[in-house]
Amino acid sequence: MTTQQTAAQTVDAIVIGAGYGGIYAVHKMANELNLSVIGFDKAEGPGGTWYWNRYPGALSDTESHLYRYSFDRDMLKEDHWDHTYLTQPEILDYLEGVVDRFDLRKHFRFGTEVTSAVYLEDEQLWEITAGGDLYRARYVINGVGLLSAVNLPKIPGMEKFQGDILHTGAWPEEADMTGKRVGVVGSGSTGTQVVTALGPKAQHLTHFIRTPQYSVPVGKRPVSEQERAEVKQNFDAIWDQAKNSSVAFGFEESTVPALSVSEEERNRVYEEAWQRGGGFRFMFGTFGDIATDEDANETAAAFIRGKIHEIVKDPEKARKLTPHDLYARRPLCDDGFFETFNRDNVDVVALKETPFREITEDGVITEDGTLHELDVLIFATGFDAVDGNYRRMEIRGRNGIEINDHWEGQPSSYLGLSTSNFPNWFMILGPNGPFTNLPPSIETQVEWISDLVGYAEEHGIAAVEPTAEAVSDWTDTCTEIANMTVFTKVDSWIFGANVPGKKPSVLFYLGGLGNYRALLNEIADEGYRGFQLTGDLLKASA
Ligand code: FAD
Ligand code: NA7
C-alpha cells in the first residue's frame, strides 16, 4: 500500500455536483439509505447551474411550479413563487433552502474540484482525487451537469482586449453593465435573455448573431394567491401528468398534425400559444408534428418569422434577426427580446455576413472593417453539453480504460445512467438521458439509482454495470428515435454540434419522460435487465 492510499478517506458514496441532481443524490444516500457520503462541487456553494449563471436576465423557461422537486409533499405545500417563471436568485434561494431543510451542507465540500476517478478492481472501490486529496468509495454518482462545461470560442486577438471578457456561465456577481458599451456574442436562450436585460441598461449594445433563432414570448406574469393555492391543491395530478407526458412541461402535448387543419385554424392555435407563452408549449402543445415533419415545422417557423417582422421596426435589423432554417433547436422563449431591437442603442451584427476578423484593445473588428468599440464583451456561447464535464476529468474504469477512449466514437450509456466497464459509476443526465423539463427527469434518475444502490447494499452486490450489449442497444434506440425528428437536421448542442472539434452525435433519448419512466420500472422489475450484478461483498472482503 502506498502512503497516498493510506491517506485516502473511505466512504460509501461520492457525489459530484451540487445542483438539482447532486443535492437530491446526497439526500437519498445519506438520509434514506443511511450511507456515508461526501458531495463535491468546485463551486463555493450549492445551486449548480444557478450558482454559476448569475448573468442579468437569467430566468427558467420551465414554469415556476414545475421547476422544483416533487419528492417532498410538505415542501411543495410550503413552496412559494411570485411569477410564472423563476429568476436565477429565486432558484438559487430555493436550492439553498432544500440543502438546509435536509441538513445536507455537512456532507458537501464546496470549492473542491474532482480531477480524477479511478476504479480499483482488486478493492472494488473508486479512488477519487478532489482538491488534491484522495477519497475512496464503492459508489460514484455524477451530478456534473449537462449544461455546465462552458464553451468559450477562441477569436484572434482576444488576449489584447482592454475591457472585460465574460462568459454567462461563469458570471461574476459584481459585474455591472450600466452605461457601458456592451457586445454580446450568441443568440441562444442565454444570449436572448442577456440582451433583453441589458438593452435598457447599456450605453450601447451590439448583438453579434451567427445563427438567428426562433423565439416566442415566455409569458412571465405575476401569479395570484389563488392560482398558487390551486396548484398546491392539485399537485398530485399536476406532477403525475408531467411525469407521464413527453417533455414534462405541464401541458398536454398535441397529437394534431399541423396540416390537418385550415390555415386560419392553425394561425389561431399559434396566436393563442404566442399570447400564452412558453417555448416548449409552442413547439409541442400546438401541433403534434412540428418536431417530426418539415412541412408542419415550416408553418410554425413562418408564423414566428411573421411576428419578428411585425415587432422589429427597422427592416434591416429585422432581416438580420430572422431565421430561415428549420425550427429545430431547444425551443426558445424570451421576455421581450425582439422588442429590444427597437431601441436606438441596440444593434445587431450578422456574423455570417460580416464575421469576426479580430479582437483589439478597443473592441471587435468585423470583416467589413468596422471597429465595434466595447467596454465589455459577453460570450453567451453555451456549453460543451452533456459529456463535456466528464471529459474534463480523468475517469478510468475496468482495466484502466479512460472515459475519453471508451467514448471515442460517441458518448454512450445505458438509459443515460451508466456505462459498461465503469462499475457502480452512475450519471444523472448522462448521455442519452431524457430531453425534458429537467427536475422531474433528474428525480426519476436519482430515485432509480438510489433504489439500485439500496438493492446492491441489501444483496451484498459489489459491482453493478450495464453490459456492452445493453449500452449498444440503448444507443441504437436513441439514434432511431432522434432520426425520426427534425432536430438532427440542424446543428445545436442537443447533438454536440456546437463546439469546434466535438464529434456530433445523438446525446438524448427523445422518446419522452413517460415512456422512459415506464421502461425504468420494467427493467427494475425484471431484476435490472441489461445490468451485470456481480461479486458479493462478503467474498470480496474475505
Ligand atoms: P448542474 O446544475 O449543472 O450542476 C452541476 C454541478 O457540478 C456544477 O455546480 C459544477 O460546478 C459541478 N461540477 C462539475 N464537474 C465537477 C468536478 N469535476 N468537480 C466538482 N464539481 C463539478 N432546465 C430546465 O429544465 N428548465 C429550465 O428552465 C432551464 N433553464 C436553464 C437556464 C440556464 C441558463 C442553463 C445554463 C440551464 C438551464 N436548464 C434548464 C438546464 C439546467 O442545467 C438543469 O435544469 C439543472 O439545473 C441541472 O442540474 P444538475 O444538478 O444536473 O447540474
Ligand atoms: P446555445 O443554445 O448553445 O447558444 C449559443 C450561442 O452562441 C448560439 O447562438 C451560437 O451560434 C453562438 N456561438 C457559439 N460559438 C460561437 C462563435 N464562435 N461565434 C459566434 N457565435 C457563437 O447556448 P445557451 O447558453 O444560449 O443555451 C444553452 C441551454 O442552456 C439552453 O438551451 C437552455 O437550456 C439553457 P450558432 O447557433 O452555433 O451559430
DSSP string, 232-252: HHTHHHHHHHHHTSSS-SSSP
The alpha carbon of 341 and the centre of ligand 2 are apart by a number of angstroms equal to 19
Pocket of ligand 1 contains residue 378 by CB under 6 Å: no
pLDDT of residue 441: 98
Q: What's residue 2's pLDDT?
A: 44
For ligand 1, atom 23: residue with the closest CA: 438
User: Which amino acid residue places its CA nearest to atom 2 of ligand 2?
Assistant: 188
* Cβ atoms of residues 326 and 486 within 8 Å: yes
C-alpha cell at 34: 443511511
Mutate to test the pocket of ligand 2, among 326, 372, 378, 381 (most ligand atoms within 8 A of CB): 381
Pocket test for ligand 1, best of 144, 168, 189, 403 (most atoms within 8 A of CB): 144
Residue 284, C-beta contacts closer than 8 angstroms, at least 6 positions apart: 246, 247, 249, 251, 253, 254, 290, 291, 331
Instruction: Return the axis-axis angle of helices 438-459 and 513-525, rounded to nearest 10°.
Output: 10
Distance CA 416, CA 520 (A): 11
d(CA 381, ligand 2 centre) in Å: 4
The 3-state DSSP class for residue 52 equals helix
Query: Which pLDDT value is given to residue 7?
Result: 77
Is 199's C-beta closer than 6 angstroms to any atom of ligand 1? no
Using DSSP bridges, classify how beta strands 181-185 and 371-373 pair: parallel, antiparallel or unpaired: unpaired
Residue 429 CA to ligand 1 center (angstroms) comes to 10
What pLDDT shows up at residue 174? 86
Cβ proximity of 401 and 468 under 8 Å: no
Query: Which backbone phi and psi does 416 adopt, to 5 degrees?
Result: 75, 10
Q: Residue 166 C-alpha to ligand 1 middle, in angstroms?
A: 18
| pLDDT value of residue 536 | 67
- Nearest in space to 167 (alpha carbons), one of 351, 385, 381, 392: 381
CA 158 to CA 162: how far, in whole Å? 9
Domain boundaries, the chain: 9-149+385-541, 166-225+233-379
- The answer to whether 66 and 440 are in contact (CB under 8 A) is yes
Report the pLDDT value the prediction gives residue 535, as an integer from 0 to 100.
Answer: 79
212 pocket-lining for ligand 1 (C-beta < 6 Å): no
Considering only CA atoms, which of 280, 330, 306 is closest in space to residue 490?
330
Residues whose beta carbon lies within 6 Å of some atom of ligand 2? 147, 153, 185-191, 210-211, 330, 351, 380-382, 493, 498
In angstroms, what is the span from residue 48 Cα to ligand 1's centroid?
5
Name 110's bridge partners: 41
Q: Quick check: CB of 43 below 6 Å from ligand 1? A: yes
C-alpha span between 30 and 24 (Å, rounded): 10
Q: Is the ipTM of this complex over 0.85?
A: yes
Residues of the chain with pLDDT under 50: 1-5, 538-542
Element (H, E) at 394: strand 394-396
CA gap 508, 432 in Å, rounded? 4
* pTM score: 0.97
**Quick one: fold of 9-149+385-541?**
FAD/NAD(P)-binding domain (3.50.50)
**Atom 9, ligand 1: which residue's CA is nearest?**
48
- Closest atom of ligand 2 to 381 CA is 7
333: left (phi over 0), alpha (psi -120 to 50) or beta: beta
pLDDT value, residue 409: 84
Report how far residue 49's alpha carbon sits from residue 63's, in angstroms, rounded to the nearest whole number: 17
Cβ atoms of 474 and 413 within 8 Å: the answer is yes
Protein residue whose Cα sits closest to atom 31 of ligand 1: 60
Contact, 235 vs 71, CB < 8 A?
no
- Whose CA is closest to atom 36 on ligand 2? 211
